[in-house]
Structure 1
Amino acid sequence: MNRCTRALLGMAAVLLINSAQAAQWRLVKDEAGIQVYLQAIPGSSFQAFRGVTRMHVDMPRLLALQNDVNAACAWIHACSEQKLLKHQGDLSWAYSRFRTPWPVRSRDSIVQVKTVRDADGSITRTLRGVADYLPRQPGLVRVSKVEGFWTFTPRGDEIEVVYQVHSDPGGNVPAWLANTFVVDAPFNTLLGLRELAEQQ
């Protein structure tokens, strides 16, 4: 097998892998200019979600809304409390508490956020759960795992916003609630953020 053939086969393999990965995401909601996709994660009972939309807003205003951690419950789905714990360079740590329907116990989480600015003007914020950053709170179940990101990509006079997360809420969560959350969380969060961002 010559070098050219090996290169072509390698390229074909990469394309097949990328196609398979892309096929894993399935569109479950497309409404109000927001698309929500879900993906099964091997070894996990909980699906990952990806929400995508575009916003008529400039980057400074969008970042200002994201950076105002204490006020973010105005647009984050099911959020009852959020506060900044620490900020250091391009890293920050935030505590969040979330409402859940009775009889499920409310959840809280601690997430480390790393912000990276790319040369093309886009911004990526990587989310990583750090469940043991603070002691557990009485009456709350700590979210045991969070992995995800936000991306903000300029598209002409708009910004494309992608919000993707896979988490394990910890404890016992009914299947109906888990299945509802992974759709409602990205949709309502993006809708709320867009409404605030586009206010005149």
Structure 2
Amino acid sequence: MQNLKARGVARPASALAMLLMAAVVSTIAAGAAQAGLPDENAEGWSLRKETDNIRVFTIDQPDSSFQAFKAEAILDVPIENLMAVMINPQSCVEWVHNCSESYAFGDGNFHDRYAYSVNDMPWPVTDRDYVLRIRTHGEKSDGEVVMNLNAIPDRREEEDGHIRVDKSDTLYRFIPEGDQTHMIWVQHTEPNGSIPGWLVNTLLVDIPIRSMEQLERVARWERYQNHELVYDSSGKLKNVVPKPQSGDD
């Protein structure tokens, strides 16, 4: 990863606490544009943790004991690789910390689709699951791609042995910078169950760090190489596809 100090994070107290926190933060999904999220440029963000390449901020949310976070990183991979990962409905298990199951369901397309995912929790804590809507859009003019992620818990029946997360809003913003990508991740989740707010807020910053570091590694895998962003005649992003191989028609 590229150093991010010019723009602007330590490890959790225990492995069990990290696993508990994973249910709150891990997600791959989407939904109505940034519903329930603080503005990424709002005043009040507090820098909580910083590594050479990632900065994580938190902010209090009205009527909630759980803070929102914002994570920023310069990932040393091109945006095409990252979008190839993000459109794979199973990729949650590859890069999101403690995501143990993920797949697409229902009708959907590149711009508006649905996913189900599970976070594996240590006994005796009950696994958390998410039913999520993913909306993706981008403009050729600046090359930026935005994904809005929201929980829609009633879209599927509840699963035995899981606690359904009923409120989670996430924004992924990918900004191309040559062969690198500036990623911004904003999220706020209200988990069901008895996970205390103080624990969530104490450990909130470590999950996006671990996940973003893993995302950079995954985006270098062979299966995610040689993709391209496809735009329509008005310059709107419409898909991410493998590049034609030489000799293809």
Do Structure 1 and Structure 2 share a fold, with TM-score over 0.5? yes
In the other structure, the counterpart of 2:86 is: 66
Q: Is 1:46 equivalent to 2:66 in the alignment?
A: yes
Counterpart residue identity of residue 184, structure 2: V
Larger Rg: 1
Counterpart residue identity of residue 136, structure 1: E
Preserved contact between residue 56 and residue 198 of structure 1 (Cα < 8 Å):
no
Counterpart residue identity of residue 59, structure 1: I
Q: How far did 1:199 drift? A: 5.3
Q: How far did 1:84 drift? A: 1.1
SS where residue 69 of structure 1 aligns? coil
How far apart, in 1, do the equivalents of 2:143 and 2:173 lie? 11
Aligned residue among 8, 15, 28 for 2:48 = 28
Bigger fraction of residues in strand: 1
Q: Is 1:97 equivalent to 2:115 in the alignment?
A: no
SS where residue 43 of structure 2 aligns? helix
Q: Which structure 1 segments of 5+ residues have no match?
A: 1-20
Counterpart residue identity of residue 85, structure 1: F
Q: How far did 1:144 drift? A: 1.1
Q: Aligned Cα RMSD in Å? A: 1.8
Percent identity over the alignment is 31
Q: How far did 1:181 drift? A: 4.9
1:54 and 1:68, CA in 2 relative to 1: closer, same or farther beyond 3 A? Answer: same
Q: Is 1:187 equivalent to 2:200 in the alignment?
A: no
How far apart, in 2, do the equivalents of 1:60 and 1:149 lie? 18
Query: Which runs of structure 1 show a deviation greater than 3 angstroms over 4 or more consecutive aligned residues?
Result: none
TM-score, structure 1 as length reference: 0.83
Moved more, 118-127 or 154-163: 154-163
Counterpart residue identity of residue 93, structure 2: C
How far apart, in 2, do the equivalents of 1:28 and 1:52 lie? 12
Q: Is 1:162 equivalent to 2:197 in the alignment?
A: no
In the other structure, the counterpart of 2:130 is: 109
Q: Is 1:139 equivalent to 2:139 in the alignment?
A: no
Preserved contact between residue 84 and residue 94 of structure 1 (Cα < 8 Å):
yes
Counterpart residue identity of residue 149, structure 2: L
How far apart, in 2, do the equivalents of 1:75 and 1:180 lie? 22
How far apart, in 2, do the equivalents of 1:144 and 1:162 lie? 23
Preserved contact between residue 65 and residue 197 of structure 2 (Cα < 8 Å):
no
Q: Is 1:171 equivalent to 2:193 in the alignment?
A: yes
Q: How far did 1:58 drift? A: 2.0
Q: What is the aligned length?
A: 180
SS where residue 80 of structure 2 aligns? helix
How far apart, in 2, do the equivalents of 1:101 and 1:40 lie? 28
In the other structure, the counterpart of 1:129 is: 151
How far apart, in 1, do the equivalents of 2:136 and 2:122 lie? 33
How far apart, in 2, do the equivalents of 1:66 and 1:88 lie? 13
Counterpart residue identity of residue 159, structure 1: T
Counterpart residue identity of residue 116, structure 1: H
TM-score, structure 2 as length reference: 0.67
In the other structure, the counterpart of 2:174 is: 152
Q: Which structure 2 segments of 5+ residues have no match?
A: 1-40, 223-249
How far apart, in 1, do the equivalents of 2:198 and 2:123 lie? 13
Counterpart residue identity of residue 29, structure 1: K
Q: How far did 1:169 drift? A: 1.1
